Structures are given as C-alpha cells and as structure tokens.
Amino acid sequence: MIPEIVGFVTRREGRKFNSLNAVDDSLVNAERLAKRDDISLYVHIPFCRSLCPFCCFNRYLFKEDLARRYFIDLKQELETYRGLGFGFRDVYFGGGTPTVLMDELGDLIQQLRRQFRVKQISLETTPRELSAQNIKLLKEYGINRLSIGVQSFDEQVLKAMGRVNGPAEEVKSRLLTCQGQFDTLNVDLLFNFPGQTTVQFATDVKAFKELGIDQATFYPLMASPHKKDDLERRFNRVDNSREKRFYKIILKELYHGDYTPSTAWCFSRGERMIDEYIIESDDYIGIGAGSVSIVGGNFYVNSFSLGHYHELIASGRLPIVGWRGLSDKENRRYYLLTKLFGLKLDKEAFRRRFGGDIGAQLRLEMAFFKSFGLVAGDDILRVTEKGMYPVSVMMREFFGALNALREYHIERQI
Ligand SMILES: C[S@@+](CC[C@H](N)C(=O)[O-])C[C@H]1O[C@@H](n2cnc3c(N)ncnc32)[C@H](O)[C@@H]1O
Ligand code: SF4
C-alpha cells in the first residue's frame, strides 16, 4: 500500500510539470534564468542506429547530415548559455546514442573544456558502439563515467524487446575490455519487461556481479502513454504489480555486500559518479532537442523536433518552447523527491535552500516517511532498506508523468 500511495502522490505532482507556459521574448532572452557558474549540464544526442520499440526518450534514426547540423547547433546553444554567464562543472551526455559521430563528439568536448572548468564527464552508449577505436577515443576525450545500455544479457529477452545488442558473450567480452579503463563503468539493465521472468532477471544480476563491473543502474520499464505501432503498444501494458518481485532480487543481490546503493536504481562498488544530475546538482541546464532544465525554481523545456530546434537556434534564440515557474511547494517536493532518490537528505542544505526546517515546510511528507520507517536519521535523513522500493516507485511515477510531456511534444513535433 505504501508504494501505491507515494506513487500516486508523485504522479500527481509530476503531472504539474506538464502544464507549461508559452515562451515569451523576455524568457528567450533568458532574463528569467538565474545564472550560475557551477551547475550540471546535460547534453542530449537524439540519434540511434536503430530504434528500440520500448524506448521513451526523444530519439530519431541516425542520418549523418542531420546529426552533423545538430552538433553545430549544440555548440551554438552552449555558446548562448556561456554568453549569459552560465558555467558548467559536471557534464552528462545522454541520448539517443552520443557516440554516433565520434569526431563531432570530440569537437564538442574540446569546446566544453576550453570554455568551462569541466570536472567530470559521463556518457551513455550501447554495446554495439564499443569498438576498440571508440573506446580509445572515449579515453582520449577524458570520459570519466561510461554507461552502457545492456538491458539484458538474455538473448530471448532482448529479442522480445526488439533490441539489437549482438551475441551476449560478445557483449560481455566488450564490457570486460572497458572495465578498469574509466573511473566508472556502468551497465543499464531493464526489469519488469513484459514476458521477462524473475529467473531471467536474477540471471542478469548474477551475470553483472560475475563480470565485476563497477556499477549497474536498474530501470523499471516505464510506459509512454500512447505509442502508435503495435509492437510499441505492447510495452505500454506494463504490469506494475510484478515490479516489486524484480526489485527484491536487486536488494537481495546488491544491498548488502560488495555493492552499495547510490540511488534507488543504481548500485556501485565504492564511491562512483552516478548518472543523476538531478540529484548531484539542484540546478541543471539541458541542451539539445527534448532536453529539460531546472534553474532558479523554474522548469524549462526545449523543442523536441529536430527541425524546430534547428530553426530556433538559427534565429539566435534559446530553443526553449515551454516553461513553468514552480511554486514554493512544488520546488520543495521536487527537492524531496530527488534527494530521496539519491537516498540522503541533508536537513541543513534544505534549510539553506528554502530558509526553513523541512519538518515544518513538508510536515505531512516527513511524518509519513518517518512513521513508516522509510527514512531514518536526525540531521541527515537516509532512506532505509524498507524505503528503497517506495522511493523507486516514486521516481518511476515521476518519469512516467514526464513521459506524457515527451510524447505530447514528440507527436506534435513541438
Ligand atoms: C535513453 S538510453 C540511452 C543509452 C543508449 N542509447 C542505450 O540504449 O543503451 C538510457 C537508458 O534508458 C533506459 N530506458 C529506455 N527506455 C526505457 C523505458 N521505456 N523504461 C525504462 N527505461 C528505459 C534503458 O535502460 C537505457 O539503457
Ligand atoms: S534505448 Fe537507447 S538505442 Fe534504443 S532507441 Fe532508446 S536511446 Fe536509442
């Protein structure tokens, strides 16, 4: 019952992010953007060599000319933020597949390093992209955290997903080639996929442990509200009632022992960089088609359409198509969600940000989490083992609500 309650409330809160204001000129000139010089940057590369039917992100089939034009636009967008006084410290390349054009990626990273005091870079890619040449280049580019979307080692499950990874043994050997070459090597694994059994998933978790990889991020399958194609529609019948059984396997295998939880979805050996700029940094800017930003208590949404994104950049504007000023309560709840997802909330940091005690400003929420034993501690609240699954459900529901925003913009090519 607890996961259902916190999930319901989080989805309701998440849906508020879908009511956006139209963009006016003062926003495009970024007067409302509170400038910061030490925030996280997310860079979205929306191209893939094939499109996985279950994927809920903004992605398009790779076309070299479009992708080259896109990288030029990204550099322009970055330049605009620099001109506005922004500075970036931690950079996250996500997608799509950021490695589709390695020369352009290298150029963009060079620009980032020239213009900002970049501390660390995380980058996502797929097993198919792990050629010896790409690994060498990624090391040269100074990638600190490399994240590989494996989804599953089980060929039957991959086939059902419509995912092209290549033979499992080959994927494992490519992963082993990368292990130890980056500060953090992460693999993404999906769970609660329709037809996927808990036995198949437990075998995936064991395979990950046997490989001895630094980190795994486990994504519960999240549906997008209305996909058009038959195959895609199948993935929208996600049965959340099975999900907890999968999550228990994660806890059993990884909660105690060599790995420790970094978030409700991510388990690492030792201190590692994680994928979640939303936890690491209270404010962040997202650049690229379909990226979102949170700055100074406001939420901004970039154009999802490759064409419109390009037109906006070409006209010298930021490619923002909608924004929402979050209310104080929404900001506090969003803060609570992200910190709980990162499993740790520092009450003093909350006080500094919001000018008051969390116990007073989020009275009901705190009473609920404490009385059910989902968090413990005094100055620092930590999510307990019992709280792990409810927090996972909260984030799944929040992303679920954002998927509606993504689909709305993708379908209308806004
Ligand atoms: C957006 S992908 C980018 C990385 C790369 N393109 C890949 O597929 O490996 C990052 C991760 O999102 C997760 N993901 C994609 N679609 C999802 C969905 N519908 N529900 C849950 N996780 C999803 C996958 O685990 C994937 O590895
Ligand atoms: S899961 Fe990754 S490779 Fe597949 S379509 Fe989504 S972004 Fe592209």
Q: Quick check: 301 pLDDT over 80?
A: yes
Mean of per-residue pLDDT scores for the chain: 89
Least confident of 8-22, 91-105, 176-190: 8-22
For residue 305, pLDDT beyond 80? yes
Q: Domains of the chain: which residue ranges?
A: 20-280, 296-412
Secondary-structure class of domain 20-280 per CATH: alpha beta
pLDDT at 412: 84
> Residue 167: pLDDT above 80?
yes
The response to whether residue 124 sits with its C-beta less than 6 Å from ligand 1 reads yes
- Report which protein residue has its CA nearest ligand 2's atom 3: 48
What is the predicted pLDDT for the residue at 24? 65
Query: Nearest CA to 126 among 59, 78, 183, 193?
Result: 59
> In a 3-state reduction of DSSP, which class is residue 184?
strand
The rounded distance, in Å, linking the Cα atoms of 133 and 239 is 41
Q: Tokens 């590369």 sit at which residue?
A: 45
Higher model confidence: residue 279 or residue 53?
A: 53
* pLDDT for the residue numbered 289: 97
Question: Residue 117 CA to chain centroid, in angstroms?
Answer: 23
- 296-412: CATH number: 1.10.10.920
Query: Does any ligand 2 atom lie closer than 6 A to the CB of residue 126?
Result: yes
Residue scoring higher pLDDT (302 or 239): 302
- With cut-offs at 50, 70 and 90, classify the pLDDT of residue 227: low
Q: What pLDDT score was predicted for residue 251?
A: 96
Give the residue among 406, 65, 97, 391 at the shortest CA–CA distance from 250: 391
Instruction: Kindly report the protein residue whose alpha carbon is nearest to atom 6 of ligand 2.
Output: 55
What is the structure's pLDDT at 274?
64
111 pLDDT more than 70: yes
- The finding on whether 232 has its CB within 6 A of some atom of ligand 1 is no
Distance 55 CA to ligand 1 centre (A): 6
Residue 16 confidence class, pLDDT cut points 50, 70, 90:
confident
pLDDT tens-digit readout, 40-71? 999 999 999 999 888 889 999 999 999 999 99
Phi/psi at 404 (nearest 5 deg)?
Answer: -65, -40
Answer whether 59 contacts ligand 2 (Cβ < 6 A). Answer: yes
C-alpha–C-alpha distance, residues 301 and 354, integer Å: 24
